[in-house]
A and B are shown apart, each in its own frame.
Chain A
Amino acid sequence: MSLENFFAMGGYAFYVWTSYGLTLVVLVFNLLSPVVQRKQLLRQLALKQKREQP
């Protein structure tokens, strides 16, 4: 199978690649969003703790 054929997906390129692309976006978002939020939360909590300590 040539690379050109692979991307063409027998004429169904739009449907196949949109499906795979959207799946990638949703899965990456659901994986990274809690990581980013946790880092922010840890930073806030650390600041608060520093302020409360004498």
Chain B
Amino acid sequence: MSIIPAPISRFFHKTASPPHFYALADKLIPWLTVLFLLLLIPGLYGGLVMAPADYQQGDSYRIIYIHVPAAWMSLFIYVLMAIMGGIALVWRIKLAEVMLISSAPIGAGFTFIALVTGSLWGKPMWGTWWVWDARLTSELILLFLYLGVTSLYGAIEDKRDAARAVSILALVGVVNIPIIHYSVEWWNTLHQGPTVSKMDKPSIHISMLIPLLLMAVAFKVYYAIAVLQAAKLQLLKREASAQWVKSLLEKPQ
């Protein structure tokens, strides 16, 4: 702790304290909701209406505007959870535990979306709903990791012990993330290679790329809103007998 300057350390302790964070979440959510809609509406309009049909895949490719951002989120949220797990194990900050466990259902949701929309895109393009290819299989394992975090946390009575267990699970499971990312390069798969991340020369036209990036940022903002809502619930559960919750209950709802 001594290597961190005192004012910075104080700032983190204040922000991470449950009552302060609860109030901060209340303040942030309306602004984030406005930002989300400002990104989502042009993203959907650009993707479903403005962007031209693909010259090979016709209009079926429009699934990309949710499939790819959802798949990115499924990896992004898991990495965040592993970081939260590391922080929770080293510094035992309650907020890190709460953010970890609050993120798991949202990450599972995005992983589920990535798998199902991929299946709905694969059927008309590949002629099959599912293949045991490296990308699809490793993404399915990610879904089980997310569900495992939620059920492990629910299965352990003492919530501090439960948080330690899921922190370790989140950290161990992170090895799956580079496997998913590089699966299309390491193995010869049916799933297509990266289109966007080749930043020097993305193989996607600008009128298709802009809505895709708008949707990707919109999904990030959605995650921020959803995780704050979930964290508020988890904080209340964990701190039900704390003084700040008692005074919160006395305020008119």
By a beta-carbon cutoff of 8 Å, the part of chain A in contact with chain B is 1, 6, 9-12, 15-16, 18-20, 22-23, 26-27, 29-31, 33-35, 37-38, 41-42, 45-46, 49
Complex CA distance for A42 and B48, rounded to whole angstroms: 41
Whether B229 lies near A12 (C-beta < 8 A) is no
Q: With an 8 A cutoff between CB atoms, is B41 at the interface?
A: no
Residues of B close to A30: CB separation below 8 A: 105-106, 109, 226, 230
Which of the candidate stretches B2-10, B56-64, B152-160, B196-204 sits at the interface with the other chain?
A: B56-64
Is A26 in contact with B245, judged by CB distance below 8 angstroms? no
CB pair A15–B124 under 8 Å, yes or no, is yes
- Give the residue name and chain of the B residue nearest to A9 (CB): B59
Which of B117, B222, B233 contacts A37, CB < 8 Å? B233
Asked if residues A12 and B59 are in contact (CB atoms below 8 Å), the reply is yes
Least CB separation from B106: chain A residue: A30
Using a CB–CB cutoff of 8 Å, the interface residues on chain B facing chain A are: 48-49, 53, 58-60, 62-63, 66-67, 70, 102, 105-106, 109, 112-113, 116-117, 120-121, 123-124, 222, 225-226, 229-230, 232-233, 236-237, 240, 245-246, 249-250, 253
Q: Are A12 and B226 in contact (CB under 8 A)?
A: no
**A27–B249 contact, CB under 8 A?**
no
Which residue of A has the minimal Cβ distance to B236? A41
Enumerate 9 A-B pairs (CB-CB under 8 Å) in ascending A order. A10-B53, A12-B60, A15-B121, A19-B63, A19-B116, A20-B66, A23-B117, A33-B105, A38-B232
Pick from A6, A20, A31, A42: contact of B236, CB below 8 A: A42
Provide the bound-state CA to CA distance between A27 and B237, in Å: 23
Instruction: Give bound CA distance, A34 to B70, whole Å.
Output: 20
Which residue of the partner chain, among B48, B62, B229, contacts A31 with CB atoms under 8 Å? B229
Residues of A within 8 A of B116 (CB): 19, 22
A42 CB contacts on chain B under 8 angstroms:
236, 249, 253
Top 7 A-B residue pairs of the complex, sorted by shortest distance between their CB atoms: A10-B59, A12-B60, A19-B117, A9-B59, A34-B233, A34-B230, A10-B58
